[in-house]
Chain A
Amino acid sequence: MFVNQFLFLAAVLFCIGVYGVVARKNAVLMLMSIELILNSVNINLLTFALRNGSPDGHTFALYIIAVAAAEVGVGLGLVLLVYRNKKTISLDDLSEMRG
């Protein structure tokens, strides 16, 4: 099995996701970048689970998918709330508080 290739793919996805969270200021794009990181975690877990032949990794990945859905639900709700009040979803424009 191509264990290394899968792990490499996951690492690349993780790095792209982290870059997206750090560099992007658009809240929705940040959420998408976080999803990339979570998917890289799932690839990692499934690769290790297949290599080791243990079902734990599969279970873990299912939990992550379910919880990520809940997270995105809350996240989009919060972004919508900000958009209604401020007509922007750029996190740079959120600066009510300083110091």
Chain B
Amino acid sequence: MQTLNILAAQWVAPTIDYHGLAPELVLAAGLCVVLLLDLFIDERKKWLLSVISSFTLLAAMIPVLTLALSETSVRSMFDGRYVVDNFSLVMKGVFLLAGYVVVLLSSSHIEQGEYWRGEYWFLLLSSLLGMLMMTSSRDLVSIFVALEFLSIPAYMLAAWRKRDPKSNEAGVKYFMLGVFASAVMLYGMSLMYGVANSTLLVDIAPKLTATGDFSAVHTLGVVFVVVGFAFKVSAVPFHTWAPDTYEGAPAPVTAFLSVASKAAGFVALVVLIYTAFPLSEAIWQPFIWVLSALTMTIGNVLALKQKNIVRMIAYSSISQGGFVLMPLAVAGLVGSGSTALRSVVLYMIVYAATNLGIFAVILAVSNKTRSGDVSSFGGLFSYAPALGVLMTLFLASLAGIPPLGGWIAKFVAFQSLIQSQSAWGYALAIIGAVNSVVAFGYYGNVMREIWMRPVPDGDVTPITIPGSLRLALVITAGATLVFGVLPGVGLYFADLAEIAGAIIR
């Protein structure tokens, strides 16, 4: 009690940098407006909510830009527990733009069927707000709160079609494994707090080090935390929820989960690796190496036998996650720390553009064919040439064919592995190279359907694409092309993304 009184007397209110918090505040205000308006407006005017959501996301981009242009490059709040640095600004931009594209994808899809539109936009914006918080969190408590903030709305989004058993199943499986993973992660965090006596990441780093062997508490703490985020990024063997959730959830939600939610997991992993774990690389490097190799290989092998296009893309996105993890497996070695960081950021940006594009095409095509089979893309080029060309473009980018975005992202990832000049790095590069070739098997399969196969039911009426979907296609295709043809654009943002307080060797 005595100490508590002394602490209370010493307490001063933290200074809050409102400019630094502006993107979050704009988004929070926007989602409150959406939630309240939903109560009062007429059913026929609910389309307004999608317009408000998209404008909220664009409005939140403005403070991100002004922060990027402002003189102070690092803004630290709450004793360094919430930091706005260049890494967080770049990722905030990615999340806001990805969220904007998801709103474009959703707006025509959501109108079909009598479901709860207002709640959809509210949940989507809340989840995005959690992601923005995640980019700035530099403390175990704020990372945990941000993780739950982005996950809990996502569980509800996955189960959004209340009367569809598939959607229910998607939500429940995602929820059970997600909550279990965050509980395991919390156990790791509690051990980490016990070792370091602080929840601040930069204070944890010097304590998580050993001259000889690491103690069991050190090891379990780091491993459990990595396991928690491995679930989030659906790394094998923690991927079992992903295919079922992706297939069962509404398609725009799947796009959101496979891009934004996954990127948020990587953001947290990257921040932890560079600020809290840099001196304990002996623990996490081998672990991430194994995760990455397994994720790439098993994701690819299982994708090869899929007949459903969304399920195939689900396994493909698992395997792409392995490529993002790849440079992190050597991130603690001298000389490859900074290239690994830039490679992860670049890969996330490019992957977001490409995968959202794929989902835009799938949504447009399934609007007409009402089928999820790969064979429903048969002869797409003959009656919808634009969609056929765009799908080929996106698939080629995921496969890593120059001159598209996916190629430069893979190139930089391999570069950082080679720069590590370690046997582990070379071995992982070989596994990655083999997997990029294997991946072409299933990407090529869809391309063959589009260009060479006949139309399955002979129905060749052209597809009408709603305006919002058309805009989403233009944005994602443009980004995929620009990142590939002008590699400097993507690399500029990737080089910009420096984490304040990171220890890079």
Contact = CB atoms under 8 A, between A and B. Distances in A.
Contacts of B198: 54, 56
Nearest to A46: B190
Given A67-B144, A78-B155, A85-B165, A48 B190 contact: yes
Contacts of B197: 48, 52, 54, 56
A47 B194 CA distance: 8
Interface in A19-56: 21, 27, 30-31, 34, 37-38, 40-41, 44-45, 47-48, 51-56
B424 interface: no
B109 interface: no
Nearest to B177: A21
Nearest to A60: B141
Contacts of A74: 152, 155-156, 175
Given A34-B179, A38-B186, A56 B172 contact: no
Given A56-B198, A74-B155, A97 B169 contact: yes
A97 B148 contact: no
A91 interface: yes
Nearest to B184: A37
Contacts of A14: 187
Contacts of A1: none
Nearest to B149: A67
B183 A41 contact: yes
Contacts of A17: 183
Nearest to B155: A74
| Most chain A beta-carbon neighbours within 10 Å: one of B7, B198, B305 | B198
A44 B247 CA distance: 38
B165 A97 contact: no
Contacts of A54: 197-198
A57 B87 CA distance: 28
Interface in B207-260: 243-244, 247-248
A52 B199 CA distance: 13
Given A21-B180, A60-B140, A71-B152, A44 B191 contact: yes
B195 to A, nearest CB: 9
Interface in B137-168: 140-141, 144-145, 148, 152, 155-156, 159, 162-163, 165-166, 168
B173 interface: yes
Nearest to B156: A74
Contacts of B451: none
Interface string A48-90: 1001111111011001100100110011011101100110000
B306 interface: yes
B169 A82 contact: yes
Contacts of A57: 190, 193
Contact of B7 (A55, A85, A97): A55
B342 interface: no
Contacts of A38: 183, 186
Contacts of A67: 144-145, 148
B180 A56 contact: no
A96 B176 contact: no
A81 B190 contact: no
Contacts of A75: 175-176, 179
27 contacts: A21-B180, A30-B176, A30-B180, A37-B184, A40-B187, A41-B183, A44-B191, A45-B190, A45-B193, A56-B193, A57-B193, A60-B144, A60-B199, A63-B141, A64-B186, A67-B148, A71-B152, A74-B156, A75-B179, A78-B175, A81-B172, A85-B168, A91-B173, A96-B169, A96-B248, A97-B169, A97-B311
Interface of A: 10, 14, 17-18, 21, 27, 30-31, 34, 37-38, 40-41, 44-45, 47-48, 51-57, 59-60, 63-64, 67, 70-71, 74-75, 77-79, 81-82, 85-86, 91, 94-97, 99
Interface of B: 3, 7, 140-141, 144-145, 148, 152, 155-156, 159, 162-163, 165-166, 168-169, 171-173, 175-176, 179-180, 183-184, 186-187, 189-191, 193-194, 197-199, 243-244, 247-248, 302, 305-306, 308, 311
Given A60-B190, A71-B148, A78-B156, 19 more contacts: A27-B172, A37-B180, A38-B183, A44-B194, A45-B190, A48-B193, A51-B194, A60-B141, A67-B148, A70-B152, A71-B152, A78-B155, A86-B165, A91-B172, A94-B168, A96-B165, A97-B169, A97-B311, A99-B311
Query: 9 closest pairs, A vs B, by CB?
Result: A44-B190, A48-B194, A37-B183, A52-B197, A41-B186, A94-B169, A96-B166, A67-B148, A41-B190
